[in-house]
Amino acid sequence: MTLVAGVDCSTQSTKVLVCDADTGAVVREGRAGHPDTTEVDPAVWWEAFTEASGGLLEGVAAIAVAGQQHGMVCVDEAGTVVRPALLWNDTRSAGAAEDLIAELGGAEAWANATGSVPVASFTVTKLRWFARHEPDLAARTTAVMLPHDYITHRLALTADPNRTPTTDRGDASGTGYWSPSEGAYRLDLLRLAFGRELEVPRVAGPADVVGQTADGAVIAPGTGDNMGAALGLGLKPGDVVVSLGTSGTVFAVAEAPSADASGAVAGFADATGRFLPLVCTLNAARVLTAAADLLGVDLDRLNQLALSAEPGAGGLTLLPYLDGERTPNLPSARGLLAGLTRGNASPANFARAAVEGMLCGLADGIDAIRAQGTRVERVLLIGGAAKSEAVRAIAPSLFGVPVEVPEPGEYVALGAARQAAWALSGKAEPPEWPVAGATVTGTPDEKVRQVYGEVRDRALNLLKS
């Protein structure tokens, strides 16, 4: 049996899977936690990888790292990290995003240049904030990397101390200074943000070998977490993933790049040479945990309460912008509970409104992906909140298409492992790894979506006025 390893360096933890290169069967796995913060010393990720992979990598022939997108890792001429990495969920650069959009001539100019309109999560906005607010540290900086680039680089340094950092087109497309349509960096946009040029990682091909570990294992390019999940799930045209983790994401594989000037859809590249239109919300699984905490119940009881209420929660609607929001781009927004009366003020209705509100936000994302010309025939529901019985029961009625719930798994790490197997094989396409799951269906419920949309639009109008 040939073994390959995939690493998921996510916001909350590092996961390592060791798989059979032919079948994708998981034979070993490990995990280590990360601090709950919006900035972190990248050395913490390396320590977590070391802990999570301890005793697992013996006999592994290839390895790849998928990581949280957008994070800013700045280093000096000696390769020393200059400041803690700013993560995707750090919103201090929201003002920088607005400035950069205006300086290039508006949202459409950015969408045409990079496929996306920058928001606070993008690396390019963090570089602007860094240059303006920490000029002494910025002056020491000579290069910028993404989280997965940093881990990949450290993996390879022991065998090749002189190597230069590498990345892949998928993760590069989330920086705000790489163009999916051109397949090249837009260093003019990096200079616009930072005020001068920085060294950036070489963009490797999807199945290139970018180095080897001290033990001789092949290192594949790695990718961003959403691109890794798409690869792990074996996404096909017509499939749309809704991932319910810390953030909520909606993404699909496309044959052509997208450019949405509204900013709702980020026009990323994927890890196979294709494209990955993506919508991201800041509020997903945490909406359910917050609702459970407010009601003083656990998540199992929250599920029971939600399923005991009627669709529409008796007229109660939750706009779940609990941590601000990215889509729509409202980093300072807050949640809103609308339609509350004495008649519907019950724990069951509130639980139902929490589930429906979270899912309606993602259903808006599906509509945005569809509006970019992407076929939507089936939704694959993944992430921590996909384990919720209420989520699985309610999702088909709000998404309006069949919902497939793959067996629980670490699909980002699995995608990285599949990429490692691909690089090891030298073949034109990645190996076919089966993904088991169950299909759930439901009758579309336009009324819930309509009421949610009315509440959302009223709130947005108030915020804009």
* Calpha distance 176→165 (Å, rounded): 18
Residue 32, CB-side half-sphere exposure with 13 Å CA sphere:
14
Which of 225, 260, 323, 364 is catalytic? The answer is 225
Question: Is 225 one of the annotated active-site residues of the chain?
Answer: yes
Catalytic residues: 225
